[in-house]
Amino acid sequence: MARSQGDPRVLFAMNLVLSATFCYTVVWGLDFIGALEFSWPLIAGTTALLMVITHVVTR
């Protein structure tokens, strides 16, 4: 029985939403405790980095 890989567009969208949510939560928490300053470019950068790491690990 062949294993389906799924639609790559759906996988990309799920990775984007979950990575962005995770990064937003972590950066907000670090800003809350004063360890880091919240900024949208930081969210975008960490989201992109996490998406690449997730893609590499799952392939």
Per-residue pLDDT of the chain (59 residues; tens, 9 = 90+): 667 777 889 999 999 999 999 999 999 999 999 999 999 999 999 999 999 999 999 88
Domain ranges of the chain: 16-58
Which residue from 56, 43, 42, 55 is spatially nearest to 14, judged by alpha carbons? 55
Residue 30 contacts by C-beta under 8 Å, 6 or more apart in sequence?
A: 36
Burial class from Cβ neighbours inside 10 Å (0-12, 13-18, 19+) for residue 46 reads middle
**The pTM is what?**
0.84
